[in-house]
Copies of this chain bind each other. A is one copy, B any other.
Amino acid sequence: MSATRFTYLGPEGTFTEAALRTLPEAATRELVPMVSVPAALDAVRNGEAAAALVPIENSVEGGVTATLDELASGEPLMIYREVLLPIAFALLVRPGTALTDVKTVTGHPVAQPQVRNWLRRHLPEAVWESAASNADGARLVQEGRFDAAFAGAFAAATYGLEALVEDIHDAENAETRFVLVGRPARPAAPTGADKTSMVLWLRDDHPGALLELLQEFAVRGVNLMLIQSRPTGAGIGNYCFAVDAEGHVADRRMGEALMGLKRICPKVRFLGSYPRAGVAVADVRALRPGTTDSDFTAAADWLARCQDGRGA
Interface residues of A (CB under 8 A from B): 11, 35-39, 57-59, 62-66, 70, 76, 78, 84, 108-110, 112-113, 116, 128-133, 136, 171-175, 177, 184-187, 205-208, 210-212, 214-229, 231, 233-237, 239, 241, 249-250, 255-256, 258-260, 262-264, 268-271, 278-279, 285, 288-291, 295-296, 298-300, 302-303, 306-312
Are A207 and B222 CB-contacts (below 8 A) given A35-B128, A302-B262?
yes
Knowing A76-B311, A186-B307, A256-B256 touch, does A233 contact B172 (C-beta < 8 A)? yes
CA–CA, A139 and B256, complex, Å:
55
Task: Name the CB-closest residue of B to A243.
Answer: B229
Asked if A237 and B225 make an inter-chain contact with CB atoms under 8 angstroms apart, the answer reads: yes
Q: Which residue of chain B lies nearest to A241 when distances are taken between CB atoms in the complex?
A: B227
- With A35-B128, A110-B66, A112-B36 in contact, is A211–B207 under 8 Å at CB? no
The 10 closest A-B CB pairs, nearest first, are: A130-B132, A263-B290, A186-B309, A270-B312, A259-B299, A38-B113, A185-B309, A208-B218, A262-B299, A270-B306
By a CB distance below 8 angstroms, the chain B residues around A185 are 309
Instruction: State which of B220, B233, B290 has its C-beta within 8 Å of the C-beta of A173.
Output: B233
Q: Tell me the bound Cα distance from A131 to B312 in angstroms.
A: 37
Distance in Å from the Cβ of A142 to the closest Cβ of chain B? 15
A237 to chain B, nearest CB (A): 7
Find the B residue at minimum CB distance from A308. B186
Bound Cα distance from A270 to B184, whole angstroms: 42
Cα A129 to Cα B263 with chains together (Å)? 45
As for how many copies of this chain the complex holds, the number is 4
Q: Determine the chain B residues whose CB is within 8 A of the CB of A175 once the complex forms.
A: 231, 236
Question: Which of chain B's residues have a CB closer than 8 A to the CB of A306?
Answer: 249, 258, 270
Contacts of A235 in B (CB 8 A): 173
Q: How far is the CB of A147 from chain B (nearest CB, A)?
A: 17
Known: A207-B222, A288-B206. A296 touches B259 (CB 8 A): yes
Cα-based distance from A234 to B173 in the complex (angstroms): 7
* A40–chain B nearest beta-carbon distance, Å: 10
Q: 8 extra interchain contacts, Cβ-Cβ under 8 A, other than A177-B236, A186-B309, A211-B218?
A: A109-B132, A173-B233, A175-B231, A207-B223, A225-B229, A227-B229, A228-B228, A237-B279
Chain B residues with Cβ below 8 Å from A37 are 113
Chain B residue nearest to A246 (CB atoms) is B207
Which residues in B have their C-beta under 8 angstroms from that of A263? 290-291, 295-296, 298-299
Distance of A133 Cα from B128 Cα, bound (Å): 14
> Across the interface, which residues of B come within 8 angstroms of A11, CB to CB?
130
Expressed in whole angstroms, the Cα–Cα distance for A259 and B186 within the complex equals: 28
Which B residues lie within 8 Å of A260 (CB)? Answer: 219-220, 299
A sample of 23 cross-chain residue pairs with beta-carbon separation below 8 angstroms, ordered by A number, consists of: A35-B109, A35-B128, A58-B65, A62-B62, A84-B236, A130-B133, A184-B311, A214-B214, A219-B219, A227-B227, A228-B228, A236-B278, A249-B306, A249-B307, A250-B307, A255-B307, A259-B300, A260-B299, A262-B298, A262-B303, A263-B298, A269-B312, A270-B306
